[in-house]
Amino acid sequence: MVTDILQQISYGVYVVSARDKDKPTGCIANSVMQITSSPAIIAVSMHHDNHTHAVIRQSGKFAVSVLAEDSDPAIIGTFGFRSGRDTDKFAQVNSRTVEDVAVVEDACGYFVCEVVGQTETPTHTIFLGAVQKSELFGNRTPMTYAYYHAVIKGKSPKNAPTYVPAATESAKGPQAKRKFQCSVCGYVYEGEELPEDFVCPVCGVPSTRFSEI
Ligand SMILES: Cc1cc2nc3c(=O)[nH]c(=O)nc-3n(C[C@H](O)[C@H](O)[C@H](O)COP(=O)(O)O)c2cc1C
């Protein structure tokens, strides 16, 4: 199978959230798409190991916050590289609660869905959600998955359906500069030296969490 063609598929970058008993939680997903317009039904592919998966299954509801190009990249670090099992993710962002589900303020807007169907794959569940409520916060530019990779220089962890092993990704480009990789989110800094006071622009960890690749 030639996987390069799969990397030509376009996506956005979203926070998919749900209510875990008395605490909101969620994770980053790129695999969100609209399936029908009337009624408006949305699909999201969620890895079985994600805490968010268990919470959506149990609550029967989820929300999608559409991240903007200028949304704080630390949101992706928190929601995409940590687990709600041991992190109170919503304590670290401004949020509002809609239909009992927390949504991120620093976004283009959101929609809240009630689960109306589920399809299994060996690793992920595709949740189908009927949109109950939605809101646009302003006129911001939505972040695409391509922008996340090209401009923010972010990576995707193993649970993302579009995960590409690091060896395949690094084999693509010339190795002119030294590269230092964040051990938490996979962000790669390129330059002669990694400055001591450098802070990962994606997940916010210090330079000590980077190693040369
Ligand atoms: C850019 C990006 C895209 C991602 N897309 C998905 C996705 O579509 N589906 C998924 O299950 N996980 C995806 N992930 C991985 C989850 O966000 C990640 O595993 C998260 O830590 C799970 O948190 P949780 O255990 O609190 O649910 C993505 C992560 C990133 C950074």
Task: Note whether residue 160 is domain-resident.
Answer: no
113 with 57, same domain: the answer is: yes
Task: Note whether residue 153 is domain-resident.
Answer: no
pLDDT in tens, 146-179: 999 999 888 888 899 988 876 654 444 455 689 9
- Centre of ligand 1 to C-alpha 6, Å, is 18
139 with 194, same domain: the answer is: no
pLDDT in tens, 73-87: 999 999 999 999 999
pLDDT in tens, 38-51: 999 999 999 999 99
Domain count across the chain: 2
- Per-residue pLDDT averaged across 123-141, rounded? 97
Task: Note whether residue 37 is domain-resident.
Answer: yes
25 with 113, same domain: the answer is: yes
Residues of the chain above pLDDT 70, percent: 95
173 with 124, same domain: the answer is: no
- Per-residue pLDDT averaged across 104-131, rounded? 98
Q: pLDDT band at 112, cuts 50/70/90?
A: very high
- Centre of ligand 1 to C-alpha 176, Å, is 31
86 with 188, same domain: the answer is: no
Q: Ligand 1 pocket: which of 83, 159, 163 to mutate (most atoms <8 Å of CB)? A: 159
Residue 188 and residue 179 in contact, taking contact as beta carbons nearer than 8 Å: yes
- What's residue 170's pLDDT? 47
Name the nearest CA neighbour of 12 among 145, 113, 123.
145
142 with 169, same domain: the answer is: no
- Reported pTM: 0.88
Q: Measuring from each residue's beta carbon to the nearest atom of ligand 1, which residues come in under 6 Å?
A: 13, 25, 27-31, 45-47, 50-52, 76, 80-84, 124, 148, 156-157, 159-161
- Centre of ligand 1 to C-alpha 1, Å, is 24
Name the nearest CA neighbour of 13 among 202, 165, 205.
202
Q: Identify any residues that bridge with 43 across adjacent strands, giving them in sequence order.
A: 33, 128
Ligand 1, residue 124: give the atom nearest the CA.
11
Residues of the chain above pLDDT 90, percent: 73
Task: Tell the residue nearest (CA) to atom 20 of ligand 1.
Answer: 80
- What's residue 62's pLDDT? 98
Q: How far apart are the two ends of the chain, measured CA to CA in Å? A: 27
Q: Is the pLDDT of residue 110 over 70?
A: yes
59 with 97, same domain: the answer is: yes
- What's residue 167's pLDDT? 60
Classify burial at 198, counting beta carbons within 10 Å of its beta carbon; exposed 0-12, middle 13-18, buried 19 or more.
middle
Range of the domain at 197: 165-212
- What's residue 166's pLDDT? 67
- What's residue 35's pLDDT? 98
Decide which of 109 and 186 is more confident. 109
125 with 202, same domain: the answer is: no
Task: Tell the residue nearest (CA) to atom 1 of ligand 1.
Answer: 156
Decide the pairing of beta strands 95-98 and 101-104. antiparallel
